[in-house]
Amino acid sequence: MAKHKFAEHALSPWMKKDGPENDVVLSSRIRIARNMRNYPFPLLATADQSQNTMEQLLSIAESGRLNGLGEPAAYRLSELTELEKLVLVEKHLISPALAGESRNGALILGRNEDISIMINEEDHLRIQCLYPGFQIREAWEFASKIDDIFEESVDYAFDEKYGYLTSCPTNVGTGIRASVMMHLPALVLTGQINRILSAVTQVGLAVRGLYGEGSEATGNLFQVSNQITLGQSESEIIDNLHAVARQIIGHEQAARERLLKESRTRVEDRVRRSYGILSYASIMDSKEASQRLSDVRLGVHLGLLPEVNRDVLNELIVLTQPGFLQQQSGEALTPEQRDIARARIIRSRLASQA
């Protein structure tokens, strides 16, 4: 089977662009949940009903109405291998639920992979837009344009009192989930992270790991998103997240300056040790790889490892995940084989930039 374009490279084209505050914020994301009126929600739909929903929504992309926003390609999940679906999860282009549990699921994927539209996940339609760095408002504007195109073609499930209706009550209202992926190593090293994250949750925001709800915050990567979708307007949700994220960025940058001023030698030793281990290790599990890549990323942004390319670090976040390791190897791998392959790929990518 020919390899799909999304599986050829770990780094999505949108990730190669610079974004504001990219020393702290890796990406900004907007996800909009929508359902079609007069159709059962995916969890209750029959096979025929979900098939009809899928074909109707795919027809909008295939008609060319989305071409001006990224020339998307359509994929039916039934036509993809389990490994290809895992790669899509690791690149944050589909959810684990769509990959593993969806019936008649499909994906509409933009050419730059900054648009990812899931069909028949928990809701009939989940529109996702990804931007590099701290650009949550820009991501919202883009996602809203896509939402308008679909709303011109299908009748959304909407209630005058409650807003857009969704499978999960926590999404009812605007149906918007806005989030920023943040790298916060200095707040962790200075022991401030728990205080900061506790304050974040008290203002209606949630903090999760790299892969969203239920995932662990490995590699000092934290996803900060809104929890409230009902009772606030779209602009209020975006503005609240933007303001809180801006404060977290300031705290992280101040903590980095403090580390350089008060503990420069110790920090430099830490990041160079991690760089050395990554450069020469023969076996490495995913948790250690995430932590050591976090150390190196911190070193790059502190100016302690100027020889390391940031794009290589972004690429390695995805390349070292189980799906991509097996995709690159062309076969299923045991956990130990994955740990060996992970170390080999890291050594190779770090050496290739020399």
284 is in an annotated binding site: no
Share of the chain above pLDDT 70, in %: 96
Predicted confidence (pLDDT) per residue in 313-324, tens digit: 988 988 899 988
183 is in an annotated binding site: no
Last residue of a domain, one of 150, 168, 186: 168
- Per-residue pLDDT for 163 more than 60? yes
Question: In this structure, are 44 and 158 located in the same domain?
Answer: yes
Angle between helices 310-319 and 286-301 (to 10 degrees): 170
95 is in an annotated binding site: no
pLDDT at 331: 86
Q: Find the mean pLDDT for residues 296-305.
A: 95
CATH number at residue 93: 3.30.590.10
Last residue of a domain, one of 168, 192, 208: 168
- Per-residue pLDDT for 2 more than 50? no
The answer to whether position 206 is within a domain reads no
- Per-residue pLDDT for 70 more than 80? no
310 is in an annotated binding site: no
266 is in an annotated binding site: no
- Per-residue pLDDT for 116 more than 80? yes
pLDDT at 69: 77
Phi, psi (rounded to 5 degrees) for 257? -65, -40
C-beta of residue 32 within 8 angstroms of C-beta of residue 184: no
28 is in an annotated binding site: yes
Question: In this structure, are 1 and 119 located in the same domain?
Answer: yes
The structural domain count of the chain equals 2
157 is in an annotated binding site: no
The answer to whether position 91 is within a domain reads yes
The answer to whether position 288 is within a domain reads yes
The answer to whether position 336 is within a domain reads yes
pLDDT at 13: 87
pLDDT at 62: 85
Q: Find the mean pLDDT for residues 218-232.
A: 89
Q: Find the mean pLDDT for residues 263-270.
A: 96
Confirm whether pTM is higher than 0.75.
Answer: yes
What is the domain extent for residue 42? 1-16+29-168
The answer to whether position 209 is within a domain reads no
The answer to whether position 198 is within a domain reads no
177 is in an annotated binding site: yes
Predicted confidence (pLDDT) per residue in 125-158, tens digit: 999 999 999 999 999 999 999 999 999 999 999 9
208 is in an annotated binding site: yes
pLDDT at 1: 35
pLDDT at 3: 54
Q: Give the up-direction half-sphere exposure of residue 11: CA atoms within 13 A in the CB hemisphere.
A: 14
211 is in an annotated binding site: yes
* Per-residue pLDDT band at 288 (split at 50, 70, 90): very high
The answer to whether position 223 is within a domain reads no
139 is in an annotated binding site: no
Other C-beta atoms within 10 Å of 71: how many?
13
Last residue of a domain, one of 149, 168, 187: 168
351 is in an annotated binding site: no
Q: Find the mean pLDDT for residues 167-183.
A: 93
Q: Find the mean pLDDT for residues 38-42.
A: 92
29 is in an annotated binding site: yes
pLDDT at 213: 52
The answer to whether position 54 is within a domain reads yes
Question: In this structure, are 164 and 284 located in the same domain?
Answer: no
Kindly state the tokens that stand for 234: 């779209």
126 is in an annotated binding site: yes
pLDDT at 304: 94
